[in-house]
Structure 1
Amino acid sequence: MSEQVYQPGKIEKKWQQIWEENDANKTNEDMAKPKYYTLEQFPYPSGEGLHMGHVRVYTIGDVIARFKRMKGYQVLHPMGADAFGLPAENAAIQRGVNPREWTLKNMERIRTEQKRLGVSYDWDRYVGTCLPDYYKWTQWLFLLFYERGLAYKKQAAVNWCPTCNTVLANEQVEDGKCWRCDSEVTKKELNQWFFKITDYAERLLQDLDQLDGWPDKVKMMQRNWIGKSEGAEVVFTVPTLNDKKISVFTTRPDTLYGVTYMVLAPEHPLVPQLIAGKENEQTILDFIEDLKKVNEITRTSTEEEKVGYFTGSYARHPLTGEDVPIWVANYVLMDYGTGAVMGVPAHDERDFLFAKKYNLPIKIVVQNQEGFPRSVEEMDGAFTEDGTLVHSDRFNGLPNREAIQTIAKYLEEIGKGKPTVSYRLRDWLISRQRYWGTPIPMVYCDTCGVVPVPVDQLPVLLPEDVIFNGKDNPLTTSESFVHTTCPKCGGHAHRETDTMDTFIDSSWYYFRYASPHEETKPFDSKQVNKWLPVDEYIGGIEHAVLHLLYSRFFTKVLYDAGLISFQEPFKSLLTQGMVLKDGAKMSKSKGNVVSPNEIIEKYGADTGRLFILFAAPPDRDLDWSDSGVEGSHRFLNRVWRMVQQNLETLTANPEVKVETDAEKELRRMINVTIKRVTEDIDLRNNFNTAISAIMEFVNKIHSYPEDGNKGLFKQAIETVVILLAPMTPHITEELWQMMGHDSSVHQQEWPTYNEEYLVLDEVEIAIQINGKIRGKMVVPTSSSKEEIEKLVLADERLNEWTQGKSIKKVIVVLGKLVNIVVG
């Protein structure tokens, strides 16, 4: 029989078709098996299709899913599309197409590309967030949040283009200008919808301790984003405004006596009253207007110059009764804390620099044991170490750490503040003034006010009669959508024209996969409680904060509503590194993009999969290498030829006998390789070292003598094919069939190893004289220290090594060496 050539294109198409026809990847609902839910973050269906980053994440997920099936689990491995979003709307404007048409076409393209990779998704569970049978339930969940007091509307600032007359997302603002018309972007207050994620801040923080399967760096990023700070609320008053209160949150109430000024955010609601009729009024108004063009990241950057103006008004210090000047400055934001900070320049570096710049007083209230700082003159920066309070009235002499609690409690006693906890986390702004998103199911009635759309009237469908002109919110152009009747009174009403942030769509999609065809509710709770939490969630580090935080928030709300029985959505999290080319992230502008389709056409999907798994551990960045791809292809060809050249043996049933040293060594390598590959995949997700172990094993098989036992030789090659199956599913399926097997290689039980066969019968050890290696010796692995010492001392080479010197000591390290100390 002539040897067949490895033709990946032909083989891969063949098996993809067979798998599809046979529903090979349909989820096994066998309740007797333990469950395993592996999930990769679903893609946005852009016009560019898949890139190598996608290939990496899908391949990693597929290896885990296939491995777990072979280990006897019932596996849920679904896929979908995160299909709403701004790019589709931009495409509608630029190309003159409807976003739905553009998105559905891209969804189909990506699904085709995913199938070409051989990923074992249960396509029957596919969900697209832009489809009415999905976003109907997104709207249902919004109403649940509203009923539970977690959805509300308030005024908030947005990016506004006065020329396009539209709200812009942050990514549409380039250097302070509109990406489309180049007009100066300003800030505008609009009434918008929010979710009260702050109600869950403490639970979101505390429950991070339960997530043992999450990388520490991701948990730290979430802790920092939530930003819990313990301190005190301090209330200053403004005598000239009828003692109106200005609340400040501080983590350092121990430095309260060191306050020499206050700073308000330019957007603070009291600023207009504080500057009215004052010398700086117009200057500050111009300053506020200019700041509308500057984003928050720039304003709070440590590199940005701190600019401020005195309002001409003063606040009353709650403890000293002194008048403290009130300033406005660019570095204080209304959305963080209370929009007001107290200036303690002696003990805060930013305040120190601001005070020096504007010649504001500096008052020392904390000194160390040496009495430093004694005076402002000897300070070249703020003193931020621990110490003892001075110039602090009744609290003088207290250690400052103790004074934090003492002064906070005193403020509470006199009604001028209280101990409190603050979070950096702000409520989630979910309104988007765009078309291609989930419509918010609320109407506004002149008689009834704000009215939720009844559940039986969902979904509120996106209309087709909209105008995409790059100006205004397209939904406002649809008369059929805007004008409706009130669900309460039947009178005239108008619909909410904001759509939801697309992060909402991705905050619950993994629930829908458990029962994607459920028609009466978002998901079947029984199925969700069976499959979730997700056992392994795989995706990029760029989603470490917002997507994961919002998903955790949704899960806790659904738990509180009694819909699910768990409080965290993802048990284990794998954040894969980026795919780089020449040390840089792949991008069209750099001209370093490698197309997955090109690799599949030239080498086959299995080669692409093998390289991307082998080139780096999954959590590290991977530098693309054309030679590495070719090396992976050569290895698969080598495995192919190994099977082809031994088909006579592989299709027969030779008896397994282990008698010779070569046979014992091959048996040992079979078991060692199974152990290494199993542990690398199951315990560490180290696919690169698993592949390395298989490559070493193939080398060992090639050195096996031709007269060795054929049964053991067959067992070794079958082991290679089975171990490679999760990583390279097409070639292994083809080889398994060639070897005479009727069932799929992916339905085989994962091989187990025998501990007894992992150990060598003999081991080579080094012999040292006074720590210097002089020779080697092969000894039985089972030998005791005493037996090895006898063997070494009986060696005829000993006299030559010691040259008549007396032996003082013999040190035996089992399995490694014997050191003879002579004198």
Structure 2
Amino acid sequence: MSERKKPYPFDVFEPKWQQIWDERKTFKVNNPGEEGFDASKPKYYVLDMFPYPSGAGLHVGHPEGYTATDIVARFKRMNGFNVLHPMGWDSFGLPAEQYAIKTGQHPSVTTFRNIDNFRRQLKMLGFSYDWDREIATTDHEYVRWTQWIFLQLYNSYYNKELKKARPVSELEEQGLSREEIDQRRLAYVAEAAVNWSPDLGTVLANEEVEEWKSKGHRVERRPLRQWMLRITDYAERLIDELEPLDWPESIKLLQRNWIGKSEGAEVDFTLDGETITVYTTRPDTLFGATYMVLSPEHPLVDTVTTPEQKHAVEQYRAQCASKSDLERTDLSKEKTGVFTGAYAVNPVNGKQIPVWIADYVLMGYGTGAIMAVPAHDERDFAFAQVFGLPILQVVQPPSEDTDWRGFCGYEGSSVNSGFLTGLPTPEAKEKMILWLEENGKGRRKVNYKLRDWLFSRQRYWGEPFPIVWEDGRHRALPESELPVLQPDLDDFAPTGDPRGPLVKAAEWIAYTPTAHRETNTMPQWAGSCWYYLRYLDPANTERFVSREAEQYWMGSAGSPGGVDLYVGGTEHAVLHLLYARFWHKVLFDLGYLSTNEPFQKLVNQGLILGEDGQKMSKSRGNVVNPDDIVREYGADSLRLYEMFMGPLKDVKPWATKGVEGISRFLARVWRVAFRENQEGEWEINSKLVENAPEAGVLAVRKELHKTIKKVTEDINGMSFNTAIAKMMECTNAMTSADVVDVQDYDAFLTLLNPFAPHLTEEIHSRLQTAFPALAQTQLCQKSWPEWEEALLEENTVPMVIQVNGKLRDKLEVPKDISREELEKQALASAKVKTFLDGVTVRKVIVVPGRLVNIVAN
């Protein structure tokens, strides 16, 4: 197509309009207190999950969500809203650092070059972002406020009575020691079992392990001193406060499962003077506990292991160190373990049970120890079968047809369980908890699968902690010293030192002769936790966001609060959303924010696959570059095609042929307004007229008002594909008509503008000269058209015409047509007459509003 004449001159006018929008700042929106701010308008904050600017640039899957939000943003502006629609860059991270190490370029150079390319591509697609609000998490001012937020966590604790964060100064006033306060801070230091990659020289999150192992990097488990954030204090609120949010139920379920609330009991087993506490959701099965399992990392493993088993235990622990949590807990994998040689006492019956260690028990969940009831737990059952351990039934399923082996349901009743025998499971569970508490053997406990957030990374390309160490103790830097920036190192490659590559910057580390800086850096999550707040007031040097801007954009009167529409992929369904909600709640508790939740409405767009039906990737060679599509078909064609492929939430394969079809549709829209003369120039089509007689344009006008109603409802429902289909029907009606009123056509262009902004602005601009009655403004600044109910009413009905019960024709007839006139028109139909030659009409049957059947022989 690049060698052929374009069906309409998108290559000329698309760059022109992008320049106009840039120069005029068409989509800039003011904050309260700024000149030009209109307080009478309601607010609407529509947000994209901001991208990580990789060197590969955008592929055609990325603009899908951006196009959807842009349509909504343009639609809301036309409907009288102050619309905040920003864009920025999640620009720290391990991939940028690794690329810099390989190429020898500083990560700032490669990152900012990538940002320039991403920005160019987004502007090429005509997205209506307020570019004055652009941010990058690597900007020095942004780093300053990320570090400031960390200090708010460091200087706060969670008050369990009030169920909110409070300043640690309250603990100081209560006379608590420094050590006691440090143990209660929301940001604290602890020895933690981590995923350490000796090749990358850093800790990896559980979610990153498989990705980097697949690239050939080693990952092992080892204990390291780490900064942690006490997100577990917020577990209950993170679950309970999900309910009122307008999020997909599937995403809420993922969040709930990740937090993993459960109710049960802690049970104390004894072993040679030591107490081993386990957490169980099924204390009613305690009589069936036939062995105990400790995590390989449990602190009591060395204490309880007998000399005879020491070597075997050490070997097994070394094997476990190379496995990720996901590998260890995989249900399908063969169970492994080793006996410690020790026996613990079951508190409910005094029996001694063997103590094993096994990798399927994680130190990070519960207490790192379990009582194993193989009869009624799938993993325990598999383990017991491998090692020949006893399996004792203590729960009877409700049906005799159900095998008790592996039965875990709550519908059963206790058997072989002493004082619980015969009780239904819920009653047995409650009675056992009371027995444990009365006898000092345990206690009621609500537990969460959620672990505290491991917040340290041993990397160069991340935010340094605003912390110094002196005499083995940490303390916060004053806010006046923020931001703390990385030193300018030529060699920032990891050395394997668990303190990270910043240890190479000796002069930077030496804060004073007796104090040194923290050398770990923050994870990439830190910057992405709060970026939606910085968009509100990105140039503010006095505060991370002004109170006025935050209260307007996040908590306007009549609004449920928070971002009104947040669109992004399901890959961020758990951690990003969970971490952002946690930070938001802390800042809310401390009085810095006016809303309890950051994102009111969440929509996940589906993946766009390659033409081969596989996920787009360089390795598969199926990546489609939007630059190529725009060059061939124009930005508007790409935008419309991505919305026309199917429902936004669905996974869909790319097909370039489909872009061609959309391009032809836009060409038809263009040709309603223009025709090409003999000199190859576009001149206004004579079918466009002003003040046309209503009778001549009524059919088109009725179709237009149906389209206004349908497109309005579909944008509100984010059903963009069906809105486009309706606009195609309206275009066909205008193409077929002999006369089109220019005001009707301009109203149609207004409907199409959020989808195809370049084409519609160009047509509107050209028509303004010939038709001065049209709005002398950009189309995107017009008001959204309203439909007239009277024009939606149908005065005709379709009528099926049959001969001897077989369909022969369809007629469009007036609603109030008489029976006699209907018979007359049916018999006069040319198509019907061919079936009546040489036969006699015996009867005409009329079913009002539906059909006419002519009986003949």
TM-score (norm 2): 0.86
Deviations along 1:764-799, whole A, 9 cap, x unmatched? 24589999979877664479xxx98998999999xx
- Residue type at the aligned position of 1:580: L
Correspondence 1:716 to 2:717: no
| Partner amino acid, structure 2, of 1:677 | V
Map 1:784-799 onto structure 2 (within 5 A). Answer: none
Partner residue of 1:515? Answer: 537
**What is the letter of the counterpart of residue 607 of structure 1?**
S
Match of residue 83 from structure 1 = 91
Which whole-Å deviations, capped at 9, do the CAs of 1:312-348 have from their partners, x for residues lacking one? 1111111111111111112111111111111112222
Q: CA 1:796–1:116 in 2, change beyond 3 Å: closer, same or farther?
A: closer
SS at match of 1:431: coil
1:450 has 2:474 as partner: yes
Query: What's the CA shift string for 1:392-411, capped at 9, x where partnerless?
Result: 22222211122112211221
Deviation digits for residues 687-727 of structure 1, max 9, x if unmatched?
A: 111111111111111222x2x5xxx5323321331111111
1:683-702 counterparts in 2 under 5 A?
Answer: 684-702=717-735
- For residue 159 of structure 1, give the secondary structure of its aligned residue in structure 2: strand
* 1:354 CA displacement: 1.8
Contact 1:161 / 1:178 at 8 angstroms: preserved in 2?
Answer: no
Structure 2 counterpart of 1:153: 189
Corresponding residue SS for 1:500: coil
Cα distance, 1:527–1:175 mapped onto 2, change above 3 Å: closer
The one-letter code sitting in structure 2 at the alignment partner of 1:686 is: S
Is the 1:352–1:382 Cα contact (8 Å) retained in structure 2?
no
Secondary structure, in 3 states, of the residue corresponding to 1:637? helix
Counterpart in 2 of 1:668?
Answer: 702
Amino acid at match of 2:479: V
* Offset of residue 173 of structure 1: 5.6
For 1:296, which of 301, 321, 325 is the aligned residue? 325
SS in 2 for 1:194: strand
Q: Which amino acid aligns with 2:17?
A: W
Deviation at 1:36, TM superposition (A): 0.6
CA deviations on 1:66-91 (whole Å, 9 max, x unpaired) are 11111111101111111111122112
Letter in structure 2 aligned against 1:474: P
1:654 maps to: 690
Shift of 1:622: 2.5
1:246-257 pair list within 5 angstroms: 246-257=276-287
User: How far apart are the structure 2 equivalents of 1:371 and 1:66?
Assistant: 63
Which residue number corresponds to residue 406 of structure 1? Answer: 431
Q: Which residue of 2 aligns with 1:573?
A: 602
Q: Which aligned runs of 4 or more in structure 1 are off by greater than 3 angstroms?
A: 159-180, 368-373, 378-385, 645-653, 765-783, 787-797, 800-807, 815-820
Q: Distance in 1 between matches of 2:581 and 2:13?
A: 42
Describe the shift of the 1:27–1:165 C-alpha distance in structure 2 as closer, same or farther (beyond 3 A). closer
Residue 245 of structure 2 corresponds to which residue in structure 1?
A: 211
Instruction: Show the counterpart of 1:488.
Output: none
1:733 and 2:761 matched: yes
Would you say 1:230 and 2:263 are equivalent positions?
yes
- Kindly indicate whether the alpha-carbon contact (under 8 Å) linking 1:701 and 1:716 is maintained by their aligned counterparts in 2: no
**Cα deviation, residue 170, structure 1:** 5.8
| Structure 1 SS opposite 2:268 | strand
The code of the aligned residue for 2:507 comes to S
| Partner in structure 2 of residue 389 of structure 1 | 414
1:251-400 alignment, distance < 5 Å: 251-277=281-307, 279-368=308-397, 381-382=406-407, 384=409, 386-400=411-425
CA distance in 1 between counterparts of 2:206 and 2:429 reads 39
Task: Give the counterpart letter for 2:422 in structure 1.
Answer: G
SS in 2 for 1:634: helix
Equivalent residue number for residue 558 of structure 2: none
1:756 and 1:522 mapped to 2: Cα distance? 52
Query: What amino acid is aligned across from residue 654 of structure 1 in structure 2?
Result: E
Answer yes or no: is the 8 Å Cα contact 2:674–2:685 preserved in 1.
no
* 2:54 alignment partner, SS class: coil
The CA distance in 2 between the partners of 1:585 and 1:315, in whole Å, is: 51
Change (3 A) 1:647 1:201: same
Aligned-partner residue type, residue 745 of structure 2: I
With the length of structure 1 as denominator, give the TM-score of the two structures.
0.89
Shift of 1:356: 2.1
Tell whether the 8 Å contact from 1:779 to 1:788 is kept in structure 2 after alignment.
Answer: no
Residue number in structure 1 paired with 2:15: 13
Q: What SS does the aligned partner of 2:355 have?
A: strand
Per the alignment, residue 543 of structure 1 pairs with 572
Shift of 1:743: 1.0
Please point out which of 460, 463, 466 is paired with 1:441.
466
Tell me: CA distance 1:286–1:652, structure 2 relative to 1, closer, same or farther (3 Å): closer
SS for the counterpart of 1:461 is coil
1:99 aligns with 2:107: yes
Note the alpha carbon deviations across 1:487-523, whole angstroms, 9 max, x for none: xxxx620000111111111110000111111111111
The equivalent position to 2:122 in structure 1, one of 114, 126, 130, is 114
Structure-2 residue corresponding to 1:426: 451
1:451 deviates by 1.0
Structure 1 gaps, min length 5: 486-490
In the TM superposition, residue 172 of structure 1 has moved relative to its aligned partner by: 7.4
- For 2:671, which of 625, 641, 644 is the aligned residue? 641
- The separation in 1 between residues aligned to 2:563 and 2:433, in whole angstroms, is 44
1:177 Cα deviation (Å)? 6.3
Which whole-Å deviations, capped at 9, do the CAs of 1:234-278 have from their partners, x for residues lacking one? 12111x1x1x2211111111111111111111111111111141x
Deviation of 1:223 (Å):
1.1
Q: 1:818 to 1:220 in 2, by over 3 A?
A: farther
Question: Structure 1 CA distance, aligned partners of 2:122 and 2:155?
Answer: 40
Q: Deviations over 1:622-658 (max 9, x none)?
A: 2111111111111222211221139657898622432
Conserved 8 A contact 1:36-1:74: yes
Are 1:202 and 2:233 matched, yes or no? no
The Cα shift of 1:352 comes to 1.9
Equivalent in 50, 53, 57 of residue 45 of structure 1? 53
Match of 1:747 in 2: 781
Deviation at 1:187, TM superposition (A): 2.4
SS of structure 1 residue aligned to 2:619? coil
SS in 2 for 1:584: coil
SS in 2 for 1:341: strand
Aligned residue among 193, 197, 211 for 2:227: 193
Q: Which amino acid aligns with 2:230?
A: K
Per-residue deviation, residues 165-221 of structure 1 (Å, max 9, x unmatched) = 6545668767996967x6x54322111111111111111111111112x11111111
In the alignment, is the contact (CA less than 8 A) between 1:16 and 1:118 conserved in 2? yes
User: Given the superposition, is the C-alpha separation of residues 152 and 782 from structure 1 closer, same or farther in structure 2, using an over 3 Å criterion?
Assistant: farther
Residue 14 of structure 2 is aligned to residue 34 of structure 1: no
CA contact (8 A) 1:649 1:714 kept: no
| Aligned-partner SS, 2:550 | helix
| Residue in 2 that maps onto 1:502 | 524
Q: 2:650 maps to which residue?
A: 620
CA distance in 2, matches of 1:618, 1:49: 22
Contact 2:690–2:743 (CA under 8 A) maintained in structure 1: no
Structure-1 separation of matches of 2:779 and 2:368: 63
2:7–2:664: 8 Å Cα contact kept in structure 1? no
2:166 aligns to what? none
Q: Distance in 2 between matches of 1:650 and 1:27?
A: 39
**SS in structure 1 at match of 2:374:** coil
SS in 2 for 1:201: helix
Distance 1:689 1:105, change over 3 A: same
> What is the root-mean-square deviation of aligned Cα atoms in Å?
3.2
TM-superposition CA deviations, 1:353-401 (whole Å, max 9, x none): 222222211222222466688xxxx866546462222222222221112
Matches within 5 A, 1:126-165: 126-149=134-157, 150-161=186-197
The amino acid of 2:756's aligned partner reads T
Aligned to 1:23: 25
Q: Does 1:123 align with 2:147?
A: no
CA–CA separation in structure 2 for the residues paired with 1:163 and 1:537? 37
Structure 2 counterpart of 1:722, one-letter code? T
* 2:502 is the alignment partner of 1:480: no
